[in-house]
Structure formats: C-alpha cells, structure tokens
Amino acid sequence: MPEIKIVTEIAGRICSTPVQVGGTVADGDEIVVVEAMKMEIPVLSPASGKITSLLVKLDDVVAEGQTIAIVAN
C-alpha cells in the first residue's frame, strides 16, 4: 500500500480534525481545517484510503508545507 503524505498549503491553527487514525477517507474529504487570517481553510485528502497517521491535533499551529497526515490506499 503506497502512503500519501498530506500537507497544508497555508500556515495557521488547526481548528477542526474531522478524521481519526484508522478511519477511511474518500478523495476530497476534509482531513483538517486550518484557521488563518480569520478564515477557515479545509485541507482535503488527495486520494481515497485509510488514515494511518494524524500528525496534528486541535489548536496546533502549522507551517506552510507541513505534513499533517498520512493516508495509505
């Protein structure tokens, strides 16, 4: 099973984590929501699969390009 790293394209604070490790996602599902400049930006899964690792938690501050989760498909 190839692993896909999911990265955020914007710096900000994690304000929502609708997925859990072990859960499945479809292509385009929200992995986390990042709050930046009073806007909420969803980070979407680029492929269907199973969440094998969630590297952030609620209220973490993330940098642009940071890996936030790993999906195996």
The residues spanned by each domain of the chain are 3-72
Residue in the structure block whose two tokens are 């973490």: 60
What are the E-state strand segments in 1-73?
A: 3-7, 12-16, 24-25, 30-36, 39-44, 49-54, 61-62, 67-72
Q: Is the pLDDT of residue 1 over 90?
A: no
What CATH class is the domain 3-72? Answer: mainly beta
* Average pLDDT rounded to a whole number, residues 13-20: 96
Q: Is the pLDDT of residue 48 over 90?
A: yes
Indicate the pLDDT class of residue 72, thresholds 50, 70 and 90: very high
Select from 39, 34, 38 the least CA-distant residue to 9. 34
Contact between 46 and 68 under an 8 Å Cβ cutoff? The reply is no
